[in-house]
Amino acid sequence: MKILSVNAGSSSMKFQLFDMPSEKVLVSSTFERIGLNNSFYTIKVNGQKIKKEASLENHTEAVCLFLNELQANKFVSNLDEIEAVGHRVVHGGDKYSESAIIDEKVIEDIKSFIPLAPLHNPAGILGINSIREALPDAVNVAIFDTAFHQTMEDEAFIYPIPYEWYTENAVRRYGFHGTSYQYVATRIADILGTDKYKAIICHLGNGASITAIKDGKCVDTSMGITPIAGIPMGTRCGDIDPSIIEYMMKTTGKSIDDIMFELNKKSGLLGVSGISSDSRDIEEAIEKGNERAILAQKIYVRSILSFIASYYCILGGADVIAFTAGIGENSALTRKDIMNALEPLGVKIDEEANKGRGEECLISSAASKIKCYVIPTDEELMMGRETYELSK
């Protein structure tokens, strides 16, 4: 059975075609700068990544080009072989605690959550509509980033604000990166040989969050009603005093939109370092003694530590700390800084093992009271699994 995973952004689309249930990746492709100048796409054919320039006016054109590539390279003999398609949808509110087969009601629900995710949900709808038009006979499944976190108790997701903000305006903690956490949680269970465990997973990428998990279910997570909350990220500020917003509006004359843009796009590692949102650039500057890069790294690590320590207490201990996503999987420096600071919890690093990049590995020593792992995430595979199970 051929299953397609689709991740649509406002100006990008990512595709991955699986043969299920073997989980073999047949082809993957990324389309960039949709609706903008200099648009292009890459596709992996026979293990080789090929880049092609293309005029991409909209998401439908990207879908058509990808499907043409599938047939031209004989990944499918005809498009009817694609029986189901899984779509990443960033926000499912508190209505969806699991993936759902897409019908008109689900589409309307996704639209209703646009005020909670104004940049992401419209892109998801574009992707869904484009695929439904191109593959009218395929089953479409929505995989919600927020679904995994719906197991949180009230005290974890309700903010200490007027309660009516929650009941009347849906203001609460939702959490994101759910598909990634679901995959890593499954891998932890496989590694330990049991689904009874306490874990703290650090999804550290350009967007980053921390989640506490007990027996495979979310107990608490760092992101909030939107993905700006929690730890500082590549360009997002993370948790700050909300009065800063009012103060900056009054002292600079900037609008709320201006301030929110800067908190989302000009803060985090970029804002503090003044160099880059990319941790590789930050680390290179640290090696050269750049003081603001050093400060950005210290703030980043300190915030991560505060969440890990909090979740350790909430969980009543931890069996595993896992690092995933771009920084978590590849930055030995960041993992080392975090693990060395966690020594009061009994964490002991294996310096040699920690030098690895992008591979699943135990990076704590035998003396460590908490096992620490690098576990590369695979959101597309998790989407493929969810889609396969629902479409069967």
What CATH number does the domain containing 307 carry?
3.30.420.40
C-beta neighbour count of 7 within 10 angstroms: 23
Alpha helices (runs of H) in 83-161, residue ranges in sequence order: 104-112, 121-134, 154-157
Residue 10 has pLDDT above 80, yes or no: no
Q: Which two tokens stand for residue 281?
A: 């650039």
Number of domains in the chain: 2
Residue 164 lies in a domain: no
What pLDDT shows up at residue 334? 97
What pLDDT shows up at residue 73? 86
What pLDDT shows up at residue 61? 87
pLDDT band of 57, cuts 50, 70, 90: confident
Co-location of 277 and 360 in the same domain: yes
What pLDDT shows up at residue 134? 87
138-182 residue pLDDT tens: 999 999 999 999 999 999 999 999 999 999 999 999 999 999 999
What pLDDT shows up at residue 32? 85
Q: What percent of the chain is predicted at pLDDT more than 90?
A: 78
Question: Which amino acid is residue 55, in one-letter code?
Answer: S
Residue 367 dihedral angles phi and psi, to the nearest 5°: -85, -10
Co-location of 26 and 131 in the same domain: yes
What pLDDT shows up at residue 33? 82
Query: What does the alpha-carbon distance between residue 44 and residue 28 come to, in Å, rounded to a whole number?
Result: 6
The pTM of this model reads 0.92
Co-location of 223 and 74 in the same domain: no
Distance of CA 22 to the CA centre of its chain: 24
pLDDT band of 89, cuts 50, 70, 90: very high
Residue 177 lies in a domain: no
Residue 74 lies in a domain: yes
Residue 196 has pLDDT above 90, yes or no: yes
What pLDDT shows up at residue 357? 92
Residue 9 has pLDDT above 80, yes or no: no
Q: What is the mean pLDDT of residues 227-252?
A: 96
Region class of 193: left (phi > 0), else alpha (psi between -120 and 50), else beta = left
Co-location of 227 and 374 in the same domain: yes
Co-location of 137 and 251 in the same domain: no
Query: What does the alpha-carbon distance between residue 157 and residue 171 come to, in Å, rounded to a whole number?
Result: 9
Residue 151 lies in a domain: no
Residue 45 has pLDDT above 80, yes or no: no
What pLDDT shows up at residue 116? 84
Co-location of 104 and 219 in the same domain: no
Q: How far apart are the first and last CA of the chain?
A: 9
What pLDDT shows up at residue 342? 98
Co-location of 134 and 221 in the same domain: no
Co-location of 216 and 305 in the same domain: yes
State the residue range of the domain holding 28. Answer: 2-144
Residue 55 lies in a domain: yes
Domain endpoint, select from 144, 159, 175: 144
Q: Which two tokens stand for residue 379?
A: 């959101």
Q: Quickly count helices (H) and strands (E) in the chain.
A: 14, 14
Long-range contacts of 298-306 (CB under 8 A, 24+ apart): 299/232, 299/272, 300/231, 300/232, 300/269, 300/334, 301/334, 301/337, 301/338, 301/341, 303/230, 303/231, 303/232, 303/238, 303/239, 304/202, 304/204, 304/210, 304/231, 304/338, 305/338, 305/341, 305/342
What pLDDT shows up at residue 17? 94
Task: Specify the higher pLDDT residue, 46 or 200.
Answer: 200
Cα separation values, 34 from 67, 130, 223, Å: 16, 13, 28
pLDDT band of 46, cuts 50, 70, 90: confident
Q: Which two tokens stand for residue 357?
A: 């990049």
Co-location of 99 and 248 in the same domain: no
Supply the mean pLDDT for the chain: 93
What pLDDT shows up at residue 216? 95
Task: Specify the higher pLDDT residue, 8 or 293.
Answer: 293
Residue 240 lies in a domain: yes
Residue 55 has pLDDT above 90, yes or no: no
Catalytic residues: 145
Residue 52 lies in a domain: yes
Residue 11 has pLDDT above 80, yes or no: no
pLDDT band of 263, cuts 50, 70, 90: very high
Co-location of 229 and 371 in the same domain: yes
Co-location of 251 and 327 in the same domain: yes
What pLDDT shows up at residue 118? 80
Co-location of 18 and 140 in the same domain: yes
